[in-house]
Amino acid sequence: MRIADRLNKLLLYLALILASLIVLFPILYAILVSLMDPSEVNTFPPKLIPASPRWSNYLEVARSVPVGRYLLNSLIVSSVVTLGQVITASLSAYAFAFMNFRGKAALFALFMSTMMVPWEITIIPNYLTIRSWKLLNSYPGLILPFLATAFGTFLLRQFFMQIPRELEEAARIDGCSRFLFFRTIALPLARPGLLTLGAYTFLSVWNQYLWPLLVTNNRLMRTVQIGTRFLMNEEGLQYHRIMAGVVLFMLPALVFLLWGQRYLVRGMMAGSVKG
């Protein structure tokens, strides 16, 4: 290998490491502060590394804030919405990709047009709807509006379209019912799409802010994002505890990303550019 190549490689690694440190800094710093002693947090100049990790910060924040309950609420809402969206989207995407029916083009256009509508326009009437159904401070109130999206339908349709229609026709001739084909052949073939939609939906619902802020005011129904907002009030300016809470609330999404990152990378462009 030539010296120039090696130098190039070295520089590239240096750039990668430097960029990583910058990108990761806020997350790393939050973790470091979450392990600090209260006296260490307030020293000036600020310390980076805690003298000895103080794990009890996590217990303390869990004692003063219902951390477990927030996590559970977010987990329930995100999981149910994800499952619901995968089901509703795969069904409608299947219809749009494989079936012919009256009004198909118009219905598809109607679906797609909803992708252009920003949620600000829908949020006030939706809040009024959920309130009139007496669903404030309830799981259904947090879940129902997100059980279907045009985006999900569109994404999965792109994956279904890659399955040749002749395959379905052949299966039908062999006596395979439509539903059986959908479940045993189409869905498994569209697996990457389902995983992409699942990963994307789970993360975005987990990170929702304004909707749960509006429909929950009961301390026990808050999700982690709203919990994060109130950490500041409930913990004063005790940054070591606030960060312990923040890290606990961030952890599930980070773990989830660790698993789902490749699906996000692969699926992201599936809808917008040909592969």
- Smallest separation, CB 83 to another protein (Å): 12
Is the CB of residue 150 less than 8 Å from the CB of residue 85?
no
Cβ nearer to another protein, comparing 32 with 167: 32
d(CA 106, CA 89): 18
- Upstream peptide bond of 66 is cis (omega within 30 degrees of 0): no
d(CA 143, CA 92): 19
- Smallest separation, CB 29 to another protein (Å): 7
Cβ nearer to another protein, comparing 18 with 220: 18
Cβ nearer to another protein, comparing 8 with 162: 8
- Smallest separation, CB 164 to another protein (Å): 19
- Smallest separation, CB 68 to another protein (Å): 18
d(CA 255, CA 203): 11
Structure tokens at 107: 């219905």
- Smallest separation, CB 56 to another protein (Å): 20
Cβ nearer to another protein, comparing 167 with 270: 270
- Smallest separation, CB 99 to another protein (Å): 4
Is the CB of residue 243 less than 8 Å from the CB of residue 34?
yes
**C-alpha dihedral sign at 20, 23, 24, 25:** positive
User: Count of alpha carbons within 13 Å of 232, Cβ hemisphere only?
Assistant: 4
Is the CB of residue 87 less than 8 Å from the CB of residue 187?
no
Structure tokens at 187: 């869905």
Cβ nearer to another protein, comparing 15 with 51: 15
Structure tokens at 201: 């939906």
d(CA 20, CA 190): 34
d(CA 50, CA 104): 62
Reported as type and span, the H/E element at residue 177 is none
Cβ nearer to another protein, comparing 62 with 123: 123
Cβ nearer to another protein, comparing 29 with 139: 29
- Smallest separation, CB 94 to another protein (Å): 6
